[in-house]
Amino acid sequence: MPLTPQTFLILAVLAPGCLFLGMGLLWLVGVNPPEKAIARTANATYGFVCLMLCGLVWSMRSAGLTSVSAGTGNWYAVHEFQIPLTLLADRLSVPLMGLTALLSGLVAVFSRRYLHRERGFFRFFLLLHLFAFGSLLVFAAGSVDLLIGGWEIICVSSALLVAFFHERPEPVKSAIRVYATYRGCDIGIMAGAFFLHHWAGSTLYRSVFPGEWPGQSSVMTGGGATLIGLFLLLGAMGKSAQAPFSGWLPRAMEGPTPSSAIFYGAISVHAGAYLMLRAQPLLAASSFASGVVIFIGACSAIHGTMVARASSDVKTSLAYSSISQLGLIFMEIGAGFSWLPLIHITGHAVVRTLQFLKAPSALHEFHGLHAAAGGHLPKTGAHYETALPAGLRSWLYRLALDRGHHDTILDHVVSGPLRKLAQRMTSLENRWRLSPKAPSNEGSHV
């Protein structure tokens, strides 16, 4: 096989997916590999992915390329409707792919000891590989359609990992909430992809956003750009836990700490920001959509920092700090910056992963830090708090304690009415039931 940039790109993306399939098949035929083998295979795979990405960067630089497309024609096609199987490596996707490979490998190394003798050790690694594959696919996708593929894989692996400790009911409930939020917001990205296809004739980035990142333009302008931009924003808000869809993020912390680090500190939550960065030419063509992105980002940033300060447990505090930083990233994207949000994403992901991985020993570290400083360190941001009137501070504190009432609002506006409607419809259905007692035939004799 010739070592072209395309080869490096394809191998880097496929490696975790192949490992997932291989491990899944092994389990299905009854083979349960030992922990050491699972961990070593994971390390070798992420080492291999990092190596392939280094090869990709080296070969691109040697050839003087700023972007590389690797495709095998159409994945499937029906007459003019074609879904090409195209991967794209450019200045936006390569850093994020590198980040994914590096942090996934790091989490794999950490988890070997953290989850030692845990009943779900194999399951955790299986889902980690699925997640890594989905993330690499999101960042390397050359079209919105392929991005949706990776997007949904992240969604499923995320929900299954939140329910990792499924013997307790809380993680199960939280996983259902996470999955529902993801799937609800994904309607936006699906509709966005459809309208992009419908109006621009393609969802390939190269066709709809001609040029090289970050100086791309958009073939869509006006109302079309606004509508598609807003649909994609809805999808991104769900994935990046932007207000008012931020309530799922602290619930997702029910999963094991390493998965919280990689999903909700590092990669998964930044996928939404990546989507907005990718769709930035659309935002540039629509000042309204840009304004909405900035507004959502600003609301999320303020909301996140307030709730993080009022949180009493470390993982919730970290989750809301992530939301706050993501809000800032959204604002940067809406304001038209390209490199700044990319650097912000990279830096934030690395720092947050470290914080999440250290979360179980946070108290110990906190006391150690204060002892080393010779007393109590001053609380950051306290000068802003003192500038506010006491009444407002109390009100804001109550607001922050209830996490901005976002879950309550969503329950009142979306899920509550839907549930109420469903209950009314069900009671109406029950009135029409064909049989009043409705016993189960099989149930009576099983």
Residues forming the site for another protein (CB under 8 A): 17, 28, 74-79, 81, 83, 134, 145, 148-150, 152-153, 156, 159-160, 163, 166-169, 172, 175-176, 179-180, 183-184, 186-187, 190-191, 194, 197-198, 418-419, 421-423, 425-426, 429, 432-446
Name residue 444's amino acid. Answer: S
Instruction: Give the integer Cα–Cα distance in Å for 97 and 270.
Output: 12
Question: Do 258 and 107 touch, CB atoms closer than 8 A?
Answer: yes
User: In the bound complex, what is the minimum distance in angstroms from residue 310's beta carbon to another protein?
Assistant: 30
Rank residues 117 and 442 by Cβ distance to another protein and give the closer one.
Answer: 442
The torsion of the CA quartet 158, 359, 254, 246, rounded to 10 degrees, works out to -70
CB 17 within 8 A of CB 127: no
Rounded distance between C-alpha atoms, residue 240 and residue 246, angstroms: 8
Distance CA 203, CA 189 (A): 12
Nearer to another protein, 20 or 330 (CB): 20
Q: Which residues, at least 6 apart from 325, have a Cβ–Cβ distance to it below 8 Å?
A: 301, 304, 344, 348, 352
Closest CA to 67 of 204, 162, 254, 168: 204
CA 312 to chain centroid: 24
Q: What is d(CA 285, CA 291) in angstroms, rounded to the nearest whole number?
A: 12
Measured from the CB atom, the residue of 383 and 445 that comes closer to another protein is: 445
Shortest Cβ 158–another protein spacing (Å): 12
Cβ-based nearer residue to another protein, 386 or 427: 427
Q: How far is the CB of 251 from another protein (least distance, A)?
A: 14
Query: What is d(CA 415, CA 264) in angstroms, rounded to the nearest whole number?
Result: 24
Q: Which is nearer to another protein, 14 or 396 (CB)?
A: 14
Closer to another protein by Cβ: residue 176 or 350: 176
Find all residues with CB under 8 Å of 42, minimum gap 6, and list them: 19, 105, 108, 125, 128, 129
Nearer to another protein, 388 or 425 (CB): 425
CA-CA distance, 232 to 270, in Å (whole number)? 14
Q: Least Å distance between CB 235 and another protein?
A: 11
Output phi, psi for 204, to 5 deg. -65, 130
Give the shortest CB-433-to-another protein separation in angstroms. 7
Q: How far is the CB of 80 from another protein (least distance, A)?
A: 8
We find the least distance from the C-beta atom of residue 425 to another protein, in angstroms, to be: 6
Nearer to another protein among residue 186 and residue 332 (C-beta): 186
Q: What one-character-per-residue DSSP string does 299-352 give?
A: HHHHHHHHHHHH-SSHHHHHHHHHHHHHHHHHHHHHTT-SHHHHHHHHHHHHHH
Query: Which residue number, 183 or 405, has a Cβ lying nearer to another protein?
Result: 183
Q: What is the dihedral of CA 313, 328, 401, 363, to 10 degrees?
A: 20
Cβ 134 to another protein, closest distance in Å? 8
Residue 414 CB, nearest approach to another protein (Å) = 12
